[in-house]
Structure 1
Amino acid sequence: MFKSAAAQSAPALARGYATNVTRTLFPRHYRLRHKIQNESDATPLKDGSVFVRRPTAGPTTSILSSANPSPASVSSRVPGSATTTPVSHPDLPPALNAHKAPRPEFANLTPEQIAEMRALRLENPTKYTRSYLAKKYNVSDMFVKCYIPASKEVQVSRIKAQQRSFESKGWKAQEIVVQRQKRRELW
């Protein structure tokens, strides 16, 4: 019935394990990952703070090598000099947009080619789709959509097919589709 003073002040200790006490006494962000070994590891900065160089997890070819221990020497390097860090340095993060492919060059179509595309699209819209015509004439899908839209009959048949597939779904799937449409309208 009566708890001791230690149990009342520290409820985690009363249970037999210290979960909250260890977190409040020793928060993670105050722990040091690496102790400063010598003076070359710590460099005072202009604002009074201290820059601490920690050893890297990877190879020992760090940006702050033994030849250039001070962070000022790294920031004051001249681009194109012999002491610059290589672009594929193992300690650096990957370059931004390194894998981005260049934009494709689209063809400039003549009015005759556009008329030919229209004729093909009207002839057989299931075979000559937007993507097929875009690849054949080296233009974007949006160009085909704007200049050579599908006929009204094809558009109506697509809408009817979408309605049939919607009606064949269960109530939960229908509700998901309706909610998605409402979210799109709010954009």
Structure 2
Amino acid sequence: MRGVLRMTLLATAVMGFAGAALAEDWKLEKEDDGVKVFLSPVAGSKYKAYRGVVDIKADVAKINALQEDVAGSCKWIHACAEMRLLKTEGDNSWTYSKIDMPWPVTGRDVVIHVTTEKTADGGLIRHLKAEPTYIPEEKGEIRVPKLIGEWKLVPKGAGVTEVTYQVQTEPGGSIPSWLANSFVVDAPMNTLKGLRSAAEK
């Protein structure tokens, strides 16, 4: 179960990267209640990448435990309808998530390969990459074909951790512009607020 990020989160992220390395022109889009959301255009994609940053009054171990709880993490991940662990091998995990979409937009699902690495400062980085053919597609869902992202947990001392959540994705199918524009802001904003609330209890 280690390293899973079930946070696949978002994978729940259904809106933002096609090649994480291509998103570098970050501009602050919104700041609310201590959470900052930055957006960046992505070459060759009509969807922007997003990056959310927040300081959480909890240590890396506690936040890591919340991310390791696959089913539980769905409660604080934006638009998460379902999440489950498919497989774990050492620091590699595969998760499956269903993403709620407002009617009449078809719901999305995504399989995420999560690779977890420990950093020298006591933090963690979870690398996210969609693997759309890992399991057969499910009826009634559109499989997310591309997603690249990461979670970064950086200890700041005094029991505080800086959490960065970054995603770039191609959601597949057709997404109305109003939904795409709101999702890239709401996903990191609401997910980080939810994670903070759970971690600071």
Range of TM-score over shorter length: under 0.3
Higher relative contact order (CA 8 A, sep 6+): 2
Q: What TM-score do the two structures reach when normalised by structure 2?
A: 0.18
Q: Which has the higher helix share?
A: 1
More strand by share: 2
